[in-house]
Amino acid sequence: MRKLIFQMMISVDGLYEGPNKEIDWHNVDEEFNEYAIDLLNNLDILLFGRITYELMASYWPTSNAINDDPIVAERMNSLSKIVFSKKLKSANWQNTKVVNENINEVVMNLKKEQGKDMAIFGSSDLALTFIKHNLIDEYRIMVNPLVLGKGKRLFEGITNKLNLNLKSAKTFKSGNVMLCYEAF
């Protein structure tokens, strides 16, 4: 049975975007790219909410992405993708399917299939829905070494306790720390 992994970058104060939705503070370097490539090589489906999907689809298929980061771009473009949205009716990014209803059932069925793991990158609102239905198996939280002060807080909207078990922690040369938790 495949796992559903939730991956998110946050600041030390627990914010995943600044007050104007900016993410330009994400601390991404060669070591992070190596981590990202390893993760992408162990996935066969990416899940997105509409906003994150539109952001990713506007970048990864471009010549800039392909030239600047060819390995990650190839994986992002070739992997199967599902965008969950009530507003979006079609998707132009290759290998993308739009799901408008029964999202929990779709994810439960995907988890039962044979294959590599699935991941949600960003898409905090979608992740909150999955958290409330106990669909996320692993949480990968990349803590960046800065305090934003204002912005949108990770897990905002969760009202019940979420028990997690620390699976691993890795410190990057950049000061980023990857915390990997399993849900139980």
| pLDDT tens sequence across 80-138 | 999 999 999 999 999 999 999 999 999 999 999 999 999 999 899 999 999 999 999 99
Domains and CATH numbers, the chain: 4-183 (3.40.430.10)
**13: three-class secondary structure by DSSP:** coil
Contact 53, 37 (CB under 8 A): no
| pLDDT of res. 101 | 93
Sheet holding 117-121, edge to edge: 96-99, 80-84, 43-49, 117-121, 4-11, 138-144, 177-183, 164-171
Average pLDDT rounded to a whole number, residues 61-83:
97
Amino acid present at 159: T
| pLDDT of res. 138 | 98
Q: Is 136 left (phi over 0), alpha (psi -120 to 50) or beta?
A: beta
- In tens, the pLDDT along 12-67 reads 999 999 999 999 999 999 999 999 999 999 999 999 999 999 999 999 999 999 99
